[in-house]
Amino acid sequence: MNFNLEQIALLVKGKLTGNGSSLITGAAGLEEAGATDISFLRDTKKLDLLDATKAGGILIGPGMIDNLNRNKNFIEVANPMEAFALILETIAKEKRSPKTGIHPHALISEKAKIGQGVWIGPFVVIEEEAQIEDDAVLEAQVYVGPRSKIGRGTKIYPQVVIREDVQIGRRCIIHSGAVIGSDGFGFFFAHGKHNKIPQVGSVIIEDDVEIGSCTTIDRATAGATRIGQGTKIDNLVQIAHNVEIGPNSILVAQVGIAGSSKLEEGVALGGQVGVADHVKIGKGAQIAAQSGIKEDVSPGAVLFGSPAQPIHEAFRQLALIRRLPELFKKNFKRKIR
């Protein structure tokens, strides 16, 4: 990136205060930024960081300018984080090599359909009747199974496995090591052994979904496992067969969701949350890290603990548990070892 602050203000639709000709070549946090970096401040509790920062320009929120040191360069925007993300996107686009075409070492079935402007990297395997839409990017060693479909503008990083009959929407991002469409964990016990239940369903990933590294999304036993539009999934997440996740949900690292559970729109699961099978989590619910969900959750609920309960109640209980040795000693006059 090689912009001045006046150009950046136009890009983010902000109001500039300071030297508009200052050159900006990169972006960084306030503490790491140098004289040619753009940074941002969205938390008024961290105003002290402005005194020490060397940033060449700082994105701030509405009305903050009156309380700031005017010796620095500021761009006032409606949402500093959104503006900063737009600048990072501009930097990322400049770093991307505009590759198109098919690498000679890719293995593509004659019955597959390949769109225009795609990049298919070395050692990619695309099976029969698979479809790759325009502008999709498949990096090295991606596997696409029979009858699967990759939507327009989707990017798939190296060593992703997409099994048969999977549908992936437009503008999705799938990071390395993810496996989409592996068999659901379905067995029944009879005749003295565990017997496999065939998993013949599919996975449907809607538009604008991002899936982290080494995440696994199992195919449905029958029907479809579905990930709603705009949902973002972190690394090392397990989503079991026939799960339905609503639009614009967030699943943080190491979440595990058992079979046939349903998350409605805008649900947020913190790291290592576990969800039992056949559970429904209502719209906008938030579950704190390491919680266990064993029953349905009401829309908008904020829960913590295992089993999960309203977060303020859980915190009160934890506070009391920490006082147990003191209370025991006081009431029973016995020394606690």
Enter the tokens of residue 166.
């999977």
Which is catalytic among the residues 175, 241, 278, 312? 241
The gap from C-alpha 62 to its chain's centroid, in whole angstroms, comes to 28
Quote the CA–CA distance of 49 and 77 in Å, as a whole number. Answer: 19
241 is catalytic: yes
Residue labelled with tokens 């050159």: 23
Q: What is the dihedral of CA 303, 304, 305, 310, to 10 degrees?
A: -50
Across the beta sheet with 173-174, the strand order is 101-102, 119-120, 137-138, 155-156, 173-174, 210-211, 232-233, 250-251, 268-269, 286-287, 302-304, 309-310
Instruction: Determine contact, residues 252/271, Cβ cutoff 8 Å.
Output: yes
Instruction: Determine contact, residues 125/109, Cβ cutoff 8 Å.
Output: no
Distance between start and end Cα atoms, the chain: 63
Going by C-alpha positions, the residue among 233, 175, 231, 241 that lies closest to residue 202 is: 241
Enter the tokens of residue 176.
């390395």
Going by C-alpha positions, the residue among 161, 130, 230 that lies closest to residue 118 is: 130
Whole-Å CA distances, 120 to 35, 93, 169, 177, 181: 40, 19, 17, 17, 21
Whole-Å CA distances, 71 to 14, 18, 47, 162: 18, 8, 14, 54
Residues whose CB is less than 8 angstroms from the CB of residue 259 and which lie 6 or more positions away in sequence, other chains included: 184, 185, 186, 221, 240, 241, 242, 243, 277, 278
Whole-Å CA distances, 17 to 58, 64, 66, 85: 10, 12, 11, 20
Instruction: Determine contact, residues 69/47, Cβ cutoff 8 Å.
Output: no
Which residues form the catalytic set?
241
